[in-house]
């Protein structure tokens, strides 16, 4: 692997000497996201493999080019998992998500609200900065973290700060018990209110999703909740939560675990029917708001996760200002997650992310300057006029 690592280091150094921009790319499963995909592609997949895995210590160290599925399979053999359920978004063998891309994108799946995000599980990382220096931060245990946790800064940086070569991750045992309840008949406000009530109680609530099925006659509202934890805790919660929902006039059904597992995976991978664009002009927007934010009065199809903290909408790019203003009024922000199939470049003109204020922009520019003074990774993927994270 030393040869592959040196190849990556040399590529970064040469790009700096030539004044070229590099776009870091693993499997390319998230190429749809971002402001732009400029720069010469630097493929990271050759530098792969699990460096060390200590199941008893709940920690694994893996190279950035390693297929995410390979890591998950190794953990599953030991009854362990990545609790934040990172999405792959790869639909065929030609596009395989990598561990480096998982960390760089910082995306988490259905369990994010209770299990935590990608960055919460990063213990240490090695990466190549814009000068071609191979740096090491953090370690393999939490107590090694002191001062500013640079390794976690790489989570969600989208390849704009450096090339992740190796990462140490905290892993967790698979929960001994799991159950999914399907609650029918609760409108968005009622579902959010119930989730907020449950959130204040000692319940093993692991994930949730609310959606309105407009294909049904009549239109039907569904709330799905997943419970994970000790057997006794899950069984007790099934009875209590079912009674709470029935008291509100809803109907409750416990799903088959195998069927539910497929649905939760489809939720994270965005392959549920909701994620089929309703029109060629529709864009997929992600509203990140506080869990306790109220139901938002919007005329667009919505899918709500993370106990209310993540809300997906299909809306035109022209709704950017209105969506961002509404999100800000409840303490959140709106992101253009997937541009429309009809005119993606035009859609992104409004900015994929909410524009930074002066203070935020200065901080991010200074971070970029420290990690990448020559602008090797300045692809502009995060914002139209800045490439910081």
What b/e string do you get for 97-119 counting C-beta neighbours within 10 Å, with b at 16 or more?
A: bbbbbbbbbbbbbbbbbbbebbb
Strands of the chain, DSSP E: 22-25, 40-43, 50-54, 59-63, 80-81, 122-128, 134-138, 163-170, 172-173, 177-184, 205-213, 220-229, 251-254, 283-288, 302-305, 310-315, 333-338
pLDDT of residue 387: 41
pLDDT of residue 90: 76
Tokens 């990172």 sit on residue: 86
Cα separation, 328 vs 324, in Å, equals 6
What kind and span of H or E run contains 238?
A: helix 231-247
pLDDT of residue 341: 86
Instruction: Provide long-range contacts, Cβ within 8 A and 24+ apart, for 144-148.
Output: none
- Rounded mean pLDDT for each run of 10 residues along the chain, 389 residues in total: 94 97 95 92 97 96 97 98 95 79 97 96 96 87 58 92 96 98 96 96 97 85 97 97 97 97 97 94 96 93 96 96 96 96 86 90 90 94 59
pLDDT of residue 92: 61
Structure pTM? 0.92
DSSP string over 274-301: GGS-SSTT-EEEEEE--TTPPPP--SS-
């Amino acid at each position: 692997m030393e040869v592959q690592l040196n190849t990556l280091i040399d590529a970064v150094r040469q790009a700096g000497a030539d004044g070229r921009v590099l776009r870091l790319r693993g499997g390319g499963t998230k190429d749809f996201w971002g402001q732009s995909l400029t720069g010469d592609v630097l493929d990271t997949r050759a530098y792969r493999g699990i460096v060390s895995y200590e199941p008893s210590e709940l920690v694994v160290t893996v190279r950035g080019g390693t297929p995410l599925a390979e890591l998950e399979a190794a953990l599953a053999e030991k009854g362990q998992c990545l609790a934040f359920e990172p999405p792959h978004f790869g639909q065929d063998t030609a596009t395989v998500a990598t561990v480096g891309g998982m960390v760089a994108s910082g995306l988490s799946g259905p369990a994010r609200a209770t299990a935590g995000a990608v960055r919460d599980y990063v213990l240490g990382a090695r990466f190549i900065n814009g000068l071609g220096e191979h740096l090491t931060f953090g370690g393999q245990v939490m107590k090694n973290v002191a001062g500013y946790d640079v390794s976690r800064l790489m989570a969600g940086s989208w390849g704009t700060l450096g090339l992740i070569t190796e990462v140490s991750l905290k892993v967790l045992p698979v929960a001994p018990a799991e159950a999914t309840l399907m609650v029918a008949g609760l409108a968005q406000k009622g579902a959010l209110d119930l989730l907020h009530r449950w959130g204040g109680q000692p319940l093993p609530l692991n994930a949730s999703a609310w959606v309105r099925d407009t294909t049904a006659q009549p239109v039907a509202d569904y709330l799905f909740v997943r419970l994970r934890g000790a057997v006794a805790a899950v069984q007790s919660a099934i009875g209590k939560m079912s009674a709470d929902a029935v008291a509100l006039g809803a109907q409750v059904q416990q799903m088959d675990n195998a069927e539910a597992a497929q649905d939760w995976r489809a939720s994270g991978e965005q392959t549920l029917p909701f994620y089929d664009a309703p029109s060629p002009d529709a864009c997929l927007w992600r509203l990140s708001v506080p869990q306790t934010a109220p139901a938002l009065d919007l005329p667009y199809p919505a899918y709500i996760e993370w106990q209310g903290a993540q809300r997906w909408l299909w809306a035109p790019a022209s709704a950017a200002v209105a969506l961002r203003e509404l999100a800000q009024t409840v303490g959140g922000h709106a992101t253009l997650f997937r541009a429309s199939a009809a005119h993606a470049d035009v859609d992104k003109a409004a900015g994929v992310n909410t524009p930074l204020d002066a203070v935020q922009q200065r901080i991010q520019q200074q971070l970029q300057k420290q990690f990448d003074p020559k602008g090797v990774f300045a692809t502009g993927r995060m914002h139209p006029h800045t490439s910081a994270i």
